[in-house]
Amino acid sequence: MNFFELLWAYLLVFIFSAIPLFEAYAVIPIAIVAGLSPIPVVIIGLSGNILTVFLLILFIEKIKEWRNKKNKKQKVTNKRSLRAEKLWKRYGLIGLTLIGPLLVGSHLTSFMSLVFGGTKTKTLYWMIISITMWSLLFSILTYFGVNMFLPESDGFLIKYFNN
């Protein structure tokens, strides 16, 4: 795998981690199984996911205005919003930010935390903890699982580019 292929692979990790619903905790294990180095993958994946959550929190007022304008005619709640609201009522900000990313995604969790009354600073703080915690947990499990079950494997991405 040459330098540009490797650079492209890490760029894809960043991009996919930044996309809502392609959470870092899902992209990082795939990249590790693909054969990319775990430490850069974790750092790049976390950066992508946390950056977009930060931008969402930073521009929440504009997003709320756009969403209210869009949904003015229809007042529909979906299952994911109801699930987030249930978590908020039961566990508060900390519970929602720690459990929410697994159930509804980090971006919707951040949005709902702010809509339900969380402050920007506390929401960002707890979201960074949550995204990092879940990403590290899944990364460690993946790394040791791959090494245990496929000890001689370089990963499917490395095999693809070497052929």
pLDDT of 122 strictly over 80: yes
Q: Which amino acid is at 33?
A: V
> CA-CA distance, 134 to 113, in Å (whole number)?
18
Query: Between 17 and 82, where is the model more confident?
Result: 17
Q: Where are the domains of the chain?
A: 3-68+77-162
Mean pLDDT of 113-120: 91
Q: Is 18 within 8 Å of 52 (Cβ atoms)? A: yes
pLDDT band at 9 (very low <50, low <70, confident <90, very high): very high
Cα 120 to chain centroid, rounded? 18
pLDDT on residue 61: 87
Q: pLDDT (tens digit, 9 = 90+) per residue, 61-105?
A: 888 788 777 776 555 567 877 877 787 888 899 999 999 999 889
Weakest-pLDDT range from 88-97, 119-128, 134-143? 88-97
Mean pLDDT of 138-155: 78
Rg of the chain over all Cα atoms, to the nearest angstrom:
18
Q: pLDDT (tens digit, 9 = 90+) per residue, 24-72?
A: 999 999 999 888 999 999 999 999 999 999 999 999 988 878 877 777 6
pLDDT on residue 77: 67
Query: What DSSP element (H or E) covers 68?
Result: helix 60-70
Q: Is 90 exposed, middle or buried (0-12, 13-18, 19+ CB in 10 A)?
A: exposed
Cα 28 to chain centroid, rounded? 9
Task: Give the DSSP letter of residue 71.
Answer: T
